[in-house]
Structure 1
Amino acid sequence: MKDRKGFFRFGSSSVVSAADLAQLVRAPAALSVPGDVIAGAAAAGRPLNSRVLGTIGSSVCLYWAGMALNDYADATVDAVERPQRPVPSGRIPRRTALAVAGGLTAAGLGLAAAANGRRGLLGALPLTGLIWAYDLGLKSTRAGAATMAAARTVDVLSGALATAPTGTALRRGAVPAALVGVHTYTLTALSRHEISGAPTRVPATTLAVSTATALVTALPTVLPTTRTAALSRPDLRTAVTATGALAYLATYGTAQARAVRKPSGANVRRAVGAGILGLLPLQAALTACAGAPAVAAVLGVAHPLARRLARRISPT
């Protein structure tokens, strides 16, 4: 509950500033979430409607819940590796981080149900399960990267489910969901080396995979033709798709190349941050390829805003 301007009260004793809450949930990084849903919805034939907007709200809440839960679960490790974070620094009690995660999870599921009924929960429930399983047990295992990739894959499919019957949604949303999933897998694999640095082969491999992802995304036939795609101008669609794919490589690819040359922890962290925000141009390219270049352009405009905000609050 809000206690006074800029502060929130949790229970009878914990008062937390809005700035610390924003840092806990990596607030600006949530700008990478709406594009998942929009790319899936565009592939299914309708990039924006009230159900899509409700699904976006649900996914943002679940993303923020995952960030808070991550800091709850990693409090002991962060005390050594990232003592400046809100939980290990003592600015936010650990139990409060768990309460924030639980409250945001409930909000996310509620929004999904309100926006799209049972079909909304068909996407939100698996997404919730993957987020909590990753943070509470799978993160440090071999299944960690695949779990996080699956979460982003489901997020894209939730957008398709918001606009089309289940069978159609899963079929049409499969390609963008897979490409976002592949990106997330490379990003999560790279993030394992944020503190101590990585063997050169790790950023070299993720760079090769993300380059292939950009090339596949830029192909004009990567997504099935929908009514939205048929009505869009082919030249504009191609131009925005190519621009998004190039912007993706120019940010995430360049940061990974720097990590290949010098795979220090600092360079790996920069590459991971670039990869989180690099989702926006990738999502823009997928949305344009599906036939919604105007909506894709909005995602592209959000990318520099997200990068600017990331200078104030780290997305990692």
Structure 2
Amino acid sequence: MNPASRTTPGVAPGVAMPGLATLAELVRAPAALTVPGDTTAGGAVNPGLALSSVCLYWAGMALNDYADRDLDAEERPERPIPSGRVRPGQALGLAAGLTGAGLALAAGAGGRRSLGVATGLAAVVWAYDLALKDTAAGPLAMAAARGLDVLLGGTARAGEDTGAAVLTAGAVAAHTYGVTALSRGEVNGGSAARSATALAATALATGLAAVHVHRSATHTSASDSRTNAGAVARRAAGFGLTAAYAGLVGRAQLAAARRPDAARTRAAVGQSILGLLPLQAALTAGRGRLVVAAALAAAHPLARRLSRKVSPT
């Protein structure tokens, strides 16, 4: 059989598969840098859980554009599907394939517990994109998805601290709720109510992160000869990164509140998406994994540079 004559299931003959640049745009590739930090904040040490998280995130992005293809044809015709660079069936097939890959990776990394949480996460992602996005439950569903993503990180750990799990998942979920509410003004402009919601959510995420850092440092094992030094390092890194998160995200959201036009709102949403990295770094530092926290913080400027080429929103 001539390789040139082969077609992909669901793709009409003669229709070329999208290039890597187009696929990167479809799944908002740079924004995926904010995803592994969810599982890390949740306590994961197995990279398979982080890869599972990335696959499910990319699946959600592809599914989002599939679900919004008619609206995007009017409001954002430059996007991959309305511009004709990606066919709807290709986007849906990619979303399904990435979902399957994410579930398989979760099962391989953490067994039944991880697969169970990943399945719940995938269900929320599909429900959000196909049914809940434009309803009052939309921001809650998105917040639940990111909270579950954090909890996924703890599924491969025996004896995970329930308090730490609640605080870390709650901080990421609160942040996500605010960003999702704010994002509804990306096309037509924001509003005072949306800005207030976003700022309140950022404040809540900041508070939960600070409590997690303090609590974790306080409960550092007394059997560790480096307890005092370790607690000081956790607090310094955790509180510093929490303050960095609040400053980066809060400043952008305040700017959008003062001038809630579409361009300023879209910029604030983009900054808030990438601002998740210092929040994840703070939560990870609270767990005592300072090297990993530093890596997450260092990824922020890289993500900002990449976002100038491929929008994270």
Q: Does 1:237 align with 2:226?
A: no
The 5 A counterparts of 1:83-98 are: 83-98=77-92
Q: Does 1:281 align with 2:278?
A: yes
Distance 1:250 1:71, change over 3 A: same
Asked if the contact 1:255–1:271 (Cα under 8 Å) also holds between the matched residues in 2, the reply is yes
CA RMSD of aligned residues (A): 2.2
Give the equivalent residue in structure 2 for 1:30: 32
Q: Does 1:132 align with 2:126?
A: yes
Q: Percent identity?
A: 50
Q: Does 1:113 align with 2:112?
A: no
Asked if the contact 1:226–1:290 (Cα under 8 Å) also holds between the matched residues in 2, the reply is no
1:211 to 203, 209, 223: 203
Specify every segment of 5 or more residues in structure 2 that has no aligned partner in the other structure, as ranges: none
1:249 to 242, 246, 260: 246
Asked if the contact 2:59–2:98 (Cα under 8 Å) also holds between the matched residues in 1, the reply is yes
Asked if the contact 1:229–1:291 (Cα under 8 Å) also holds between the matched residues in 2, the reply is no
Give the distance between the partners of 2:147 and 2:26, measured in 1 at CA.
24
Q: Does 1:179 align with 2:171?
A: yes
2:186 to 176, 188, 194: 194
Q: Does 1:258 align with 2:251?
A: no
| Length-normalised TM-score, structure 2 | 0.90
Q: Secondary structure at the match of 2:17?
A: strand
Q: Secondary structure at the match of 1:254?
A: helix
2:19 to 17, 20, 26: 17
Asked if the contact 2:40–2:150 (Cα under 8 Å) also holds between the matched residues in 1, the reply is yes
Q: Which residue type is aligned with residue 164 of structure 1? A: A
Q: Which residue type is aligned with residue 52 of structure 2? A: S
- More deviation in 286-295 or 61-70? 286-295
- Deviation track 1:231-290 (CA, whole Å, cap 9, x = no partner) reads 572222122112211221222111101001101111111111111111100000011112
Shift of 1:162: 1.8
The higher-RCO structure (CA 8 Å, 6+ apart) is 1
Q: Does 1:300 align with 2:297?
A: yes
Specify every segment of 5 or more residues in structure 1 that has no aligned partner in the other structure, as ranges: 42-46
Give the equivalent residue in structure 2 for 1:40: 42
Asked if the contact 1:157–1:170 (Cα under 8 Å) also holds between the matched residues in 2, the reply is no
- More deviation in 89-98 or 249-258? 249-258
Give the distance between the partners of 1:216 and 1:56, measured in 2 at CA.
23
Shift of 1:226: 5.5
Tell me which structure has the larger Cα radius of gyration.
2
